[in-house]
Amino acid sequence: MRHKTVIVFILLILGIFLPSVMGVQRFPKPEFESGYVEPETQFPVPRAEFLAWMDVAVLLLSLSLATFLVLKKRSRLGVFWLSLFSLAYFGFYRQGCVCSIGAIQNVTLALFSGSYTIPLTVLFFFLVPLVFTLLFGRTFCAAVCPFGAFQDLVAVKPMPMGAWLNAFLGMIPYLYLGLALLFAATATDFIICRYDPFVGIFRMNASFGMFLFAGVLLLSGIFIARPYCRFLCPYGVLLNWLSRFSWKHMNITPAECIQCRLCENACPYDAIDFPQTKKDPAGRRKQVNRLILLALLLPLLVLGGAWTGGLIHSTLSGVNSKVRLARLLQTASVSKDQPEPPEITAFRSSGIAQQQLMAEVATIEHDFLTGSRIFGGFIGLVFGMTLIGLVRTPYRTDYVPNRGTCFSCAKCMDYCPVIKS
Q: Which of residues 70-109 bind other proteins (CB under 8 A)?
A: 95, 97-99, 102-103, 105-107
Q: Across-strand partners of 407?
A: none
CA 187 to CA 180: how far, in whole Å?
Answer: 10
Nearer to other proteins, 147 or 190 (CB): 190
SS3 375: helix
- Tell me, by CB under 8 A, how many residues bind other proteins: 77
Part in contact with other proteins (CB under 8 A); list of ranges 27-35, 140-148, 273-281, 362-370: 27-35
> Is residue 351 a contact point for other proteins (CB under 8 A)?
no
Contacting residue, 289, 315, 349, 363, with other proteins by CB under 8 A = 349
Looking only at residues 202 through 221 of this chain, which bind other proteins when binding is defined by CB under 8 A?
203, 205-206
Nearer to other proteins, 189 or 414 (CB): 189
For residues 225 to 244, the per-residue mask of contacts with other proteins, x marking binding by CB under 8 A and - elsewhere, is -----------------x--
Task: List, in sequence order, the alpha helices (H) in 191-245.
Answer: 191-194, 199-203, 208-220, 227-231, 234-244
Nearer to other proteins, 24 or 295 (CB): 24
CA 420 to CA 47: how far, in whole Å?
Answer: 48
Part in contact with other proteins (CB under 8 A); list of ranges 1-9, 61-69, 217-225, 377-385: 1-9
CA distances from 405 to 138, 141, 157, 262, 334 (A): 9, 10, 19, 20, 53
CA 146 to CA 152: how far, in whole Å?
Answer: 10
Looking only at residues 270 through 299 of this chain, which bind other proteins when binding is defined by CB under 8 A?
none
Nearer to other proteins, 114 or 281 (CB): 114
> Is residue 356 a contact point for other proteins (CB under 8 A)?
no
Looking only at residues 363 through 392 of this chain, which bind other proteins when binding is defined by CB under 8 A?
none
Q: For residues 380 and 304, is the Cβ–Cβ distance under 8 A?
A: yes
Looking only at residues 151 through 210 of this chain, which bind other proteins when binding is defined by CB under 8 A?
189-190, 193-194, 200, 203, 205-206
Smallest distance, other proteins to C-beta of residue 296, A: 25
Contacting residue, 43, 331, 335, 336, with other proteins by CB under 8 A = 43
Q: Across-strand partners of 52?
A: none
SS3 33: coil
CA 405 to CA 182: how far, in whole Å?
Answer: 25
Part in contact with other proteins (CB under 8 A); list of ranges 73-81, 129-137, 164-172, 252-260: 129-137
Strands (E), 231-324: 272-273
Contacting residue, 127, 159, 163, 312, with other proteins by CB under 8 A = 127
Nearer to other proteins, 157 or 348 (CB): 348
Looking only at residues 307 through 336 of this chain, which bind other proteins when binding is defined by CB under 8 A?
321
CA distances from 297 to 246, 253, 275, 310 (A): 30, 39, 29, 20
Nearer to other proteins, 283 or 342 (CB): 342
CA distances from 63 to 28, 125, 135, 331, 404 (A): 59, 11, 12, 53, 18
> Is residue 1 a contact point for other proteins (CB under 8 A)?
yes
> Is residue 394 a contact point for other proteins (CB under 8 A)?
no
Smallest distance, other proteins to C-beta of residue 322, A: 9
Contacting residue, 93, 164, 245, 274, with other proteins by CB under 8 A = 245
Contacting residue, 10, 61, 88, 120, with other proteins by CB under 8 A = 120
Nearer to other proteins, 118 or 222 (CB): 118
Contacting residue, 212, 300, 346, 358, with other proteins by CB under 8 A = 346
> Is residue 60 a contact point for other proteins (CB under 8 A)?
no
Which positions ≥6 away from 177 have C-beta within 8 Å? 104, 234, 237, 238
H/E run at residue 401: strand 400-401
Nearer to other proteins, 120 or 311 (CB): 120
Which positions ≥6 away from 290 have C-beta within 8 Å? 282, 391
Q: Tell me which residue of 237, 221, 217 sits closest to 161, measured CA to CA.
A: 221
> Is residue 246 a contact point for other proteins (CB under 8 A)?
yes
Please state whether the peptide bond connecting residue 98 to the residue before it is cis, i.e. omega within 30 degrees of 0.
yes
